[in-house]
Amino acid sequence: MPDPRRITSADVARRAGVSRATVSYVLNATPGQSISPATRDRVLQAAAGLGYAPSAAARTLRTGRSDVVLCLIPDWPIGNEMGNTLGNLSTALAREGLTFLAHPGSRDDRPIAEVWKAITPAAVLSFTDFSDDETEAMRAAGVALVVALLGRAGRHGRELEVPQTLIGRRQADHLSRTGHQRLGYAYPDDPRLQIFAEPRLAGARALAEPVVRTVPLDAARAAEAVAGWRADGVTGICAYNDEVALAVLAGARTLGLTTPADLAVIGVDDIPAARLAVPPLTTVTTDQGLLAAHLATTIVAAVGGRPAPSLSADELIRVVVRESG
């Protein structure tokens, strides 16, 4: 094996017959440097010819900051809606020259601090908040922090909070419009989902005063919750998501109720199973493309130290009317 050395900018410089600095200036289009078109082309040609790719490590070491956007993925069940958004986000950030990397597990693997300290990312996208110390440490290290969801009061906007709230609001709104006065809220069983459930519930509360019950993903136990709601005179259920909604549907069926005549149900996410349910599930869907684009511009703004753009959440959330409510 003939020593498979990495191709460095020095190789490019040698081939183009210029200094290494010139190569750097050309490839980074450094402003305030004048390079003749002739050498410019020679450098570009040489770089392409050699298949040169700059070392992220060296670049990061030098500049003190990498072009990585680190997304800390909590350990809650990541549905394919979220997966979709992350994919779109990755594409959007790539267009800005940023590399999106996701790290699953803000669990006890190792202190998350280790991860971001090691990577020195340009920005960190997190869903939950950090401790004050950690936040301060990141600020000091020059890492732009974007907290997407819940968090204590602070400078950081919580980018997803408004959309999540709006989801609950739209659910309640839809059921009200279709004539339901007493509403119920089907809260998820998994405590890890609380972070999403709280803002959604808050949104529903802004319009109605729903009776909240926890609904496990199990027909028999869901039936108990449904029976409770019936006793309360509830006729319409806002479910945390489509899966919980399916459980409510199953619970109602167990009790011999018909949907939506006896009990209307509306979910969230529009998962494939929603349209295949009996009856097909009315649900609230999010425009993942728009959301990803907004997150991307927010992150880019945060990296640049500019304030976050505002999100016109209205067109983001849409009700998909089917037969369950």
Partner DNA sequence: CTTTACTACTTACACGTGTCAGCATAGGTC
Partner DNA sequence: GACCTATGCTGACACGTGTAAGTAGTAAAG
Q: Binding residues for DNA, per CB under 7 A?
A: 5-6, 8-10, 17-22, 24-25, 27-28, 30, 33-36, 38-40, 52, 54-55, 58-59, 61-64
Q: Is 289 in the site for a copy of itself (CB under 8 A)?
A: no
The rounded distance, in Å, linking the Cα atoms of 228 and 125 is 40
Bridge partners (DSSP) listed for residue 2: none
Structural contact between residues 210 and 238, judged by C-beta atoms closer than 8 angstroms: yes
Kindly state the smallest distance separating residue 166's Cβ from a copy of itself, in Å.
Answer: 24
Instruction: Look at residue 75 and give the partner it binds from a copy of itself, DNA, none, a contact being a CB closer than 5 to 8 Å depending on partner kind.
Output: a copy of itself
User: 260 preceded by cis ω (within 30°)?
Assistant: yes
The rounded distance, in Å, linking the Cα atoms of 224 and 170 is 26
The rounded distance, in Å, linking the Cα atoms of 268 and 180 is 18
CB nearer to a copy of itself: give 184 or 188: 188
The CA–CA distances, whole Å, from 151 to 122, 125, 158 equal 21, 13, 7
Sign of the four-CA dihedral 167, 169, 175, 177: negative
The rounded distance, in Å, linking the Cα atoms of 297 and 89 is 10
Q: Quick check: helix, strand or coil at residue 208? A: coil
Instruction: Look at residue 128 and give the partner it binds from DNA, a copy of itself, none, a contact being a CB closer than 5 to 8 Å depending on partner kind.
Output: none
Where is 103: in which H helix or E strand? strand 99-104
Instruction: Look at residue 33 and give the partner it binds from a copy of itself, DNA, none, a contact being a CB closer than 5 to 8 Å depending on partner kind.
Output: DNA
CB nearer to DNA: give 47 or 245: 47
Map the footprint of a copy of itself across residues 245-284, applying CB under 8 A: 246-247, 249-250, 253, 271-273, 275-278, 280
CB nearer to DNA: give 28 or 80: 28
CB nearer to a copy of itself: give 86 or 149: 86
Torsion of CA 286, 287, 291, 293, to 10 degrees: 170
Instruction: Look at residue 36 and give the partner it binds from DNA, a copy of itself, none, a contact being a CB closer than 5 to 8 Å depending on partner kind.
Output: DNA
Q: Is 87 in the site for a copy of itself (CB under 8 A)?
A: yes
Kindly state the smallest distance separating residue 265's Cβ from DNA, in Å.
Answer: 55
Candidates 113, 162, 202, 301: give the one binding a copy of itself (CB under 8 A). Answer: 113
Strands (E) in 118-220, as ranges, are 123-126, 144-147, 183-188, 211-215
Candidates 8, 99, 176, 214: give the one binding a copy of itself (CB under 8 A). Answer: 99
Cβ atoms within 10 Å of 290's Cβ, excluding its own: 18
DSSP-based helix, strand, coil % in the chain, nearest 5: 50, 15, 35
Q: Is 101 in the site for a copy of itself (CB under 8 A)?
A: yes
Kindly state the smallest distance separating residue 307's Cβ from DNA, in Å.
Answer: 24
Structural contact between residues 284 and 266, judged by C-beta atoms closer than 8 angstroms: yes
Residues that bind a copy of itself (CB under 8 A): 4, 6, 51, 53-58, 60-61, 64, 66, 73, 75, 77-80, 83-84, 86-87, 89-91, 94-95, 99-105, 107, 109-110, 113-115, 117-120, 137, 140-142, 217-219, 242-243, 246-247, 249-250, 253, 271-273, 275-278, 280
